[in-house]
């Protein structure tokens, strides 16, 4: 590959050519000026390690915290390398100031809370902490894909616009064409004629809550299909683990006959990912604990454990009801102290497409993890289903299962929840995605 673009710090650190004159580009992350010398830490966001620039007061006099610069200088071993501090420094020969910051620049070198930074989604990427999170996000997507490619999965893109609601679960977004001629900007009384709704697609159209049913169609021809895709829920939730727009890994596998095998795949995927991230230089203390034995219990066993505990429940556990957040937290944080797969849920609380595992349970599994709760949900899928048994608009799904179906199953994994789990410290999903969307307002 030819080298068209300026050198990044990431590539510089791969082979630091001591004594050479190099150009580096980035933003000033710290600045220390004294009478004779000035030290600036410059980061370009491509890796964790910034570069220390050593400049004269004359070279540095226009510089300020946050500014963007190009520095030409000689790369040297730092005098402090022996002290275990930064290994390299750049002796500035020429500094070009690209962009200053104004007095109202909110990103300052002090402890900015995540809540404060959330007000500036267009600027917070410039902090070391958010920058590190977004690199973790990038490497996580890469790691998930690496596992799937090694196991012969084919990446695909099922539709986001859909006329049916896979989960039958709650609130969706309606999508209607809108002409720019009705000047909408800033006007909250958008007029939206009923005719428009039926005209465009010929049927009411929604944003997908899960692409699973379409992905099943693709797995029934590709054997192993996956997508990393946006999904949408119009829930008015303000918890630390709900977003109106989120990303999901969805996986469907043909010729799979056992729920245990599906569970094995999920456990192996996440353990592989953590090792992949470690090899990429990421580190979080709790990962070593996560890599140990995971637990599997049936929903019925989980209910028994909840009932036998001495906890004073807000929602008393009862067979046939869904697990609430306090139940999930008890199982992962107190009872088993680690990730746990809960299997074989009551059929009555699960969607129509899940395969029975007894006369009143289905071959479903949810992965619950500490602090975050439900991270993965999956199941074996029914072998056949009549067009009368499916929700309206899903006749194609029933038709599909009638034609050369195979045993199959799959799961969905929330990317933002995965990142909150990986990061630990009860991270809010709003910190794991660049521009979080949830009910309230859209600033940028």
Q: Indicate which single residue of 338, 356, 424, 434 sits in contact with a second copy (rule: CB under 8 A).
A: 434
Q: Where in 68-107 is the site for a second copy (CB under 8 A)?
A: 68, 70, 98-102, 105, 107
- Strand, helix or coil for residue 224: strand
Burial-class residue 2 by CB neighbours within 10 Å (0-12, 13-18, 19+): exposed
Could you say whether residue 344 binds a second copy (CB under 8 A)?
no
Could you give the CA distance from residue 406 to residue 395 in angstroms, rounded to a whole number? 18
43 Rama class: left (phi>0) / alpha (psi -120 to 50) / beta: beta
Q: How many CB atoms lie within 10 A of CB 388?
A: 7
CA distance 377 to 412: 6
Q: Which residues contact 277 (CB under 8 A, 6 or more apart)?
A: 136, 139, 140, 143, 287, 422
Residue placing its CB nearer to a second copy in the complex, 126 or 327: 126
Q: Is 207 in the site for a second copy (CB under 8 A)?
A: yes
Nearest distance from C-beta of residue 6 to a second copy, angstroms = 5
Span near a second copy by CB under 8 A; candidates 32-40, 216-224, 300-308, 420-428: 216-224
Per CB under 8 A, contacts with a second copy among 124-153 are 125-126, 130-131, 134-135, 137-138, 141-142, 145, 147, 149-152
Residue 202 buriedness (CB in 10 A; 0-12 / 13-18 / 19+): exposed
Least distance from a second copy to the Cβ atom of residue 91, Å: 21
Cα–Cα distance measured from residue 395 to residue 397, given in angstroms and rounded to the nearest whole number: 5
Beta carbons of 147 and 273 less than 8 angstroms apart = yes
Out of 51, 254, 297, 413, the only residue in the binding site for a second copy (CB under 8 A) is: 254
203 vs 162: CA distance, rounded Å: 9
Residue 116 interacts with a second copy (CB under 8 A): yes or no: no
- Could you say whether residue 411 binds a second copy (CB under 8 A)? no
Q: Which span (227-235, 282-290, 347-355, 364-372) binds a second copy, by CB under 8 A?
A: 227-235
Which pair of tokens denotes residue 230? 């946006």
Question: Smallest distance, Å, CB 20 to a second copy?
Answer: 19
Residues 152-191 as x/- pattern, contact with a second copy by CB under 8 A: x-xxxxxxxxxxxx--x-xxxxxxxxxxx---xxxxxxx-
Q: Would you say 232 or 411 has its CB closer to a second copy?
A: 232
Report yes or no: 248 and 415 within 8 Å, Cβ to Cβ.
yes
Of 244 and 342, which has the nearer Cβ to a second copy? 244
If binding is defined by CB under 8 A, does position 397 make contact with a second copy? Answer: yes
16 binds a second copy (CB under 8 A): no
Helix axes 415-423, 259-279, angle to 10 degrees: 60
Least distance (Å) between residue 221 CB and a second copy: 3
Candidate segments 293-301, 313-321, 364-372, 405-413, binder of a second copy by CB under 8 A: 405-413
Number of residues counted as binding a second copy (CB under 8 A): 136
Distances (CA, A) of 340 to 140, 183, 223, 412: 21, 51, 28, 16
DSSP 189: -
Q: Which range, of 48-56, 86-94, 258-266, 292-300, touches a second copy by CB under 8 A? A: 258-266
The per-residue DSSP string of 73-85 comes to EEEEE-GGGGGTS
Binding a second copy (rule: CB under 8 A), the pick from 49, 72, 78, 223 is: 223
Considering the rule CB under 8 A, would residue 301 count as an interface residue with a second copy? no
Q: Name the minimum Å distance from CB 314 to a second copy.
A: 26
């Amino acid at each position: 590959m030819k080298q068209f673009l300026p050198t990044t710090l990431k590539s510089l650190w791969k082979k630091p050519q001591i004594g050479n004159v190099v150009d580096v580009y980035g933003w000033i992350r710290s600045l220390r000026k004294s009478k004779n010398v000035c030290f600036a830490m410059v980061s370009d966001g491509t890796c964790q390690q910034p570069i220390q620039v050593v400049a004269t007061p004359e070279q540095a006099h226009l510089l300020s915290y946050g500014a963007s610069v190009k520095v030409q200088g000689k790369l040297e071993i730092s005098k402090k390398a022996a002290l275990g501090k930064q290994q390299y420094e750049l002796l500035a020969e020429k500094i070009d100031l690209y962009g200053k910051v104004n007095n109202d620049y909110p990103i300052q070198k002090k402890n900015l809370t995540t809540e404060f930074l959330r007000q500036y989604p267009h600027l917070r990427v410039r902090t070391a902490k958010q920058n590190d999170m977004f690199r973790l996000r990038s490497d996580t997507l890469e790691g998930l894909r690496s596992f799937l490619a090694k196991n012969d999965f084919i990446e695909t893109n099922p539709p986001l616009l859909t006329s049916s609601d896979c989960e039958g679960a709650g609130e969706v977004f309606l999508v209607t064409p809108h002409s720019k001629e009705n000047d909408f900007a800033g006007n909250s009384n958008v007029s939206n004629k009923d005719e428009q709704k039926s005209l465009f697609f010929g049927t009411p159209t929604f944003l997908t809550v899960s692409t699973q049913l379409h992905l099943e169609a693709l797995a029934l021809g590709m054997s192993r299909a996956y997508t990393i895709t946006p999904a949408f829920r119009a829930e008015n939730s303000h918890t630390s683990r709900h977003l109106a727009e989120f990303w999901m890994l969805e996986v469907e596998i043909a010729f799979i006959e056992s729920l245990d095998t599906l569970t094995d795949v999920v456990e192996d995927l996440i353990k592989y990912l953590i090792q992949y991230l470690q090899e990429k230089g990421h580190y979080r203390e709790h990962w070593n604990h996560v890599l140990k034995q995971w637990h599997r219990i049936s929903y019925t066993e989980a209910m028994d454990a909840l009932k036998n505990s001495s906890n004073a429940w807000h929602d008393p556990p009862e067979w046939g009801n869904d697990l609430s957040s306090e139940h999930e937290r008890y199982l992962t944080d107190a009872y088993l102290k680690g990730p746990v797969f809960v299997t074989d849920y009551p059929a009555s609380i699960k969607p129509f497409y899940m395969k029975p595992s007894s006369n009143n349970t289905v071959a479903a599994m949810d992965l619950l993890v500490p602090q975050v709760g439900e991270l993965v949900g999956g199941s074996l899928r029914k072998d056949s289903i009549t067009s009368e048994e499916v929700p309206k608009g899903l006749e194609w799904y029933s038709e599909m299962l009638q034609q050369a179906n195979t045993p199959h199953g799959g799961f969905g994994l929330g990317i933002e929840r995965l990142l909150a789990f990986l990061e630990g410290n009860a991270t809010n999903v709003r910190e794991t995605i660049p521009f979080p969307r949830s009910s309230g307002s859209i600033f940028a």
